[in-house]
Amino acid sequence: MKRVRKAVLPVAGLGTRMLPAAKTVPKEMLTVVDRPLIHHVLAEARASGIEHFVLVTGRGKGAMENYFDHHVELEATLAAKKKTAILEELMADLPTAGEISYVRQMEPKGLGHAVWCARDIIGDEPFAVLLPDMIMDATPTATAQAISAFEQTEGGNIIVVEPCPPGMAHQYGIVALDGQDGRLNRMTGMVEKPAPGTEPSNLFISGRYVLDPAIFRVLETVERGAGGEIQLTDAMAKLMAIQPFYALEYEGATYDCGDKIGWLRANVALALKRPDLGEAACAALAPLFSA
């Protein structure tokens, strides 16, 4: 069984739920506290043992490439002004040379197509997928929990799931399970937005996966699905006929930063957790709720 070393981060989306902010700034570059959203997600991947990050980009996403590169003038200015702590923080966050690859998704054909665009870089290895608009705050990370489940099942495909709010299953992709015992269970299917009362479980597909490279062969031929796009869910459902899939109910908190309220919640929650900001953030927010 090969180790999970690579991760795909599909970052080509238009971010329509975050308009007008995402009109000129990629949604992945919107800040959560003091770092762009993509920084938080890539940091999770790195903390999970991922060694190579494949960002699937599109037009207007150049700011991400610049963010993960040296800013020579800024670094020189900080050094000249002896702002050593800030400079060291910036340098510590930089990827090493060759750690990130960028692939261009030429047309917005869906999440499945975006993942397929990374096929040549991933090669014949299991890999993680991290949806970059989802911050999943957990220790160990959600991706690390998924990789651990992958190793436990000796190579089974892993889909991270979590309970959906009561009465909201019809808005999500819901997994069907072959019995439910603990947090890791064999899957028998997936239902996209089931009619109320017909959902096979209360667990919806969240934003982290560990997949076998065979998914690329399925994505090559899968028909267009919802919205006329190539859907990753459709390809996984087909692959499930010949490979085991497991749903992992991870332990942690999820913030959907592709949604305005989810992004706001992430800013507040992560600021309150920061040792250097938590007390001040609490003091600043308290009057808003006591007025």
What pLDDT was estimated at residue 291? 61
With 70 as the cut, is the pLDDT of residue 226 above it? Answer: no
Q: Can you tell me the distance from the alpha carbon of 146 to that of 143, in angstroms, rounded to the nearest whole number?
A: 5
What pLDDT was estimated at residue 196? 87
Using pLDDT thresholds of 50, 70 and 90, give the confidence band for residue 279.
Answer: very high
Q: Can you tell me the distance from the alpha carbon of 4 to that of 239, in angstroms, rounded to the nearest whole number?
A: 19
With 70 as the cut, is the pLDDT of residue 34 above it? Answer: yes
With 70 as the cut, is the pLDDT of residue 45 above it? Answer: yes
With 80 as the cut, is the pLDDT of residue 192 above it? Answer: no
What does 100-141 look like in DSSP terms, one character per residue?
Answer: EEEEE--S---HHHHHHTTHHHH-SS-EEEE-TTEEEE-SS-
What pLDDT was estimated at residue 227? 67
46-104 pLDDT tens trace: 999 999 999 999 988 889 999 999 999 999 999 999 999 999 988 988 888 889 999 99
pLDDT mean across residues, the chain: 92
Q: Can you tell me the distance from the alpha carbon of 250 to that of 119, in angstroms, rounded to the nearest whole number?
A: 27
What pLDDT was estimated at residue 231? 86
Using pLDDT thresholds of 50, 70 and 90, give the confidence band for residue 247.
Answer: very high
Q: Which domains does the chain carry?
A: 6-290 (3.90.550.10)
Question: Do 89 and 83 contact (CB within 8 A), yes or no?
Answer: no
Q: Are strands 134-137 and 52-57 parallel, antiparallel or unpaired?
A: unpaired
What pLDDT was estimated at residue 60? 85
Reported pTM: 0.92
Q: Which of 247, 255, 231 is nearest to 132 (CA)?
A: 255
Q: Can you tell me the distance from the alpha carbon of 100 to that of 69, in angstroms, rounded to the nearest whole number?
A: 10
The torsion angle over the Cα atoms of residues 96, 9, 41 and 284, rounded to 10 degrees, is 120
Judged by average pLDDT, the poorest of 162-166, 224-228, 266-270 is 224-228
